[in-house]
Structure 1
Amino acid sequence: MSKSVKPPHAAQLLGAALGELRASFPAEDWDGLRPSHFRILEVVERGGMRAVDLAAELGMTKQGAGQHVAYLTDRGFVRQQPDPDDRRARRVELTDRGAEFLGRLHRRLAAIESGWTRRVGREDYATFRRVLASIAAS
């Protein structure tokens, strides 16, 4: 009796795609930063914000966000400035180094998406992005 092979489920397919994405970001090429740092930099890029607000936006604890911000500050990707609206708080802002890094990150991501578009076709990739956006929004 032969077993039928089940097609991979969505989690496996997404995992494979994410694995390919992760493999294209070896740590030695990215100043030791990890994807969790990338997320923080991309949120800060939209404008300076308090670490507590950053944590809330990313669904992290204040302590976790604080550790990431400290790491990024020590390496010169962000700076912390007094918040003009609350003297007890500090705002996290992108530095020139952080902005340059994000430019490099966005170019790499665009190249990856361009490659995926070539592999599956423009229309299928556009559908894939619309579906992902819809899932992420809900």
Structure 2
Amino acid sequence: MRPEALPVDPRRPDDLDTATLLSLAGAATDTLIRAAIRERGFEVTRAHGYVFQRLLAGEQTIGELAADLGMTQQGASKHVAELERLGFVIRRVSSNDRRARVVALTDAGRAVIDAARVARRDFDDRLRSVLGSDDVAALRRALGGLLDDVGVSARIADRSIPWSE
């Protein structure tokens, strides 16, 4: 005989599984951070953030961006074209290979990154005021351990987390 399933109230976070809580918390955090960036005058998408992170490691060709971010060259080109139109990146001839064109951040692109850093710092401060410094530190350790366990820590370190929709 199978035991009766316990009633789950999806309105109560305590009734949700950890994976769902992490997913919802991540999406909510992403929305808050992007809203804070918008308030600072920059309109960017989640996908743009992946490109920005990769370009912080240095200029890249479209092919390199696509490979590092796990997307097609057409997808990378689309994101770069959007960022170029917004003035956040430029394409120029590579200093290493005159036949190749590389994508690099502009000053405006670096300003977006600075705005995102401020927004994330403000979020951390808000979290500390709600949870307390000890709980935030414990949360950071737990999330770091989770990222190690799922094998993405090295990808984080070299700023090559694959883009996923």
The TM-score normalised by the length of structure 2 is 0.72
- Pairwise CA RMSD of aligned residues? 2.4
Partner-residue secondary structure (3-state), 1:133:
helix
Unaligned runs of 5+ in 1: none
Q: Percent identity?
A: 29
Higher percent of residues as strand: 1
Q: Kindly report which structure 2 residues correspond to 1:1-138, keeping only aligned pairs within 5 A, or say none.
A: 3-5=6-8, 7-24=15-32, 25-26=34-35, 29=39, 31-137=42-148, 138=151
Partner-residue secondary structure (3-state), 2:99:
strand
- Contact preservation (8 Å) 2:87, 2:108: yes
Rounded Cα–Cα distance in structure 2 between residues aligned with 1:136 and 1:50: 28
Number of equivalenced pairs: 138
Aligned to 2:160: none
Partner-residue secondary structure (3-state), 2:19:
helix
Rounded Cα–Cα distance in structure 2 between residues aligned with 1:93 and 1:7: 46
Partner-residue secondary structure (3-state), 2:101:
strand
Q: Which has the higher contact order (CA 8 A, sep 6+)?
A: 2
Aligned to 2:156: none
